[in-house]
Amino acid sequence: MSKKYKIAVIKGDGIGPEIVDEAIKVLDALASVCDFDFKYDELLMGGNAYDITGDPLPQETIDGCLEADAVLFGAIGGEKWDSLSKEKRPESGLLRLRKELDLYANYRPIKVYDELIDASSLKKEVVEGVDLLVMRELTGGIYFGEPRAVEENRAYNTMVYTKTEIKRIAKEAFEAAMKRGKKVCSVDKANVLEVSGFWREIVEEVAKDYPEVSLTHMYIDNAAMQLVRDPKQFDVILTGNIFGDILSDEASMLSGSIGLLPSASVGGKVGLYEPIHGSAPDIAGQGIANPIATIASASMMLRFAFGEIEAADKIQSAIEQVLKEGYRTKDIADYGAKEICSTTELGSYIAEYVSKSK
């Protein structure tokens, strides 16, 4: 009997539909090899949702996500909606969805593919073999803290973390480290911020349950520097919302292209799997977007949400094989391309390798 999985699919705006279609193509190829029965439920979010319903996150989408086993998401946003009020903008749809689904833990694995080593702006010997995970707290901190306001002569936000929020994200980081290199580096600004001092205390407390994992602390300014000086020193980087936002984008450039890296946001009943990049309106509709980040996100979905490790590995191996063979989209065409492919061609090559895997 085939295994059934219900996947909520949010294609979004810009290149979103193009890249999500390729991930679905690869999932369908996998379904025939692994005897899975994937049921896709397409839902609206972002600018297109606003255009159709007047709301960037319709209630139907929240309900649909909560009924699914996982959510596969492309990207949202674009200039067309930039002048709307804050709550109507596409980004507010995504922020609200993260809150609604209680997705407090954001996993961003950063892996440098050997075939694309020259795509990084850093020296080969610095990035070769980099394999780290940024664990970012996603639903707390300064992005959500109250009070916040713009007044006549000043504006302010509040960075606040509760013990519960720190404990649960720290646990997530230690659990992840147990399955990797058993090292956690917690990043904060404890020399200046009270909230960071508190963060450190709680992380130290959680660490007692994980004696096998070595814990270090680093200030955010030093971490930003160390990440480009010697990224291989890191295994799991644990950090809060705003520091994680900045560090994970910085870390993504170690790999050379933003079009390669996946992410998972988990914590609540259902997880959200999405590429780290945005909706790339500058290349939307041209058929040149790199679908690898989204296809790799589908692989993370199989691993995290469904526990289908072997199937997840099949997708990851197919991505690596396609890169090894020299198939490239335009963004990485300068690095060892044998054939420059469109979005759909690259997706088809990956799907083909998945179909051939036994």
189 is known as an active-site residue = yes
Cis ω for the linkage preceding 147 (within 30 of 0): yes
Residue 219 C-beta: closest distance to ligand NAD, Å: 26
- Which residue number, 268 or 275, has a Cβ lying nearer to ligand NAD? 275
CA distance 192 to 188: 9
Active-site position among 82, 209, 221, 230: 221
- Which residue number, 140 or 275, has a Cβ lying nearer to ligand NAD? 275
Helix (H, G, I), strand (E, B) or coil at 14: coil
Helix (H, G, I), strand (E, B) or coil at 267: coil
Are 82 and 46 spatial neighbours (Cβ–Cβ below 8 Å)?
no
Active-site position among 21, 41, 131, 249: 249
114 is known as an active-site residue = no
21 is known as an active-site residue = no
Residue 100 C-beta: closest distance to ligand NAD, Å: 16
Active-site position among 55, 188, 235, 245: 245
Are 347 and 20 spatial neighbours (Cβ–Cβ below 8 Å)?
no
Residue 277 C-beta: closest distance to ligand NAD, Å: 3
Residue 345 C-beta: closest distance to ligand NAD, Å: 14
- Which residue number, 210 or 335, has a Cβ lying nearer to ligand NAD? 335
Residue type, 195: V
* Cα dihedral 139, 267, 73, 320 sign: positive
- Which residue number, 126 or 333, has a Cβ lying nearer to ligand NAD? 333
Residue 49 C-beta: closest distance to ligand NAD, Å: 12
Q: With helix as H, strand as E and coil as C, how does 93-141 read? A: HHHHHHHHCCCCEEEEEEECCHHHHHHCCCCHHHHCCCEEEEEEECCCH
- Which residue number, 196 or 263, has a Cβ lying nearer to ligand NAD? 263
CA distance 347 to 25: 7
63 is known as an active-site residue = no
- Which residue number, 245 or 308, has a Cβ lying nearer to ligand NAD? 245
Residue 205 C-beta: closest distance to ligand NAD, Å: 32
State how far the alpha carbon of 303 is from the alpha carbons of 143, 297, 349, in Å: 29, 10, 22
Residues at the interface with ligand NAD (CB under 6 A): 15, 19, 75-78, 91, 94, 258-259, 274, 277-283, 289-290, 293, 331
235 is known as an active-site residue = no
Are 167 and 202 spatial neighbours (Cβ–Cβ below 8 Å)?
yes
CA distance 250 to 136: 13
Q: Could you identify the residue written with the tokens 């054939």? A: 339
Residues carrying an active site annotation = 143, 189, 221, 245, 249
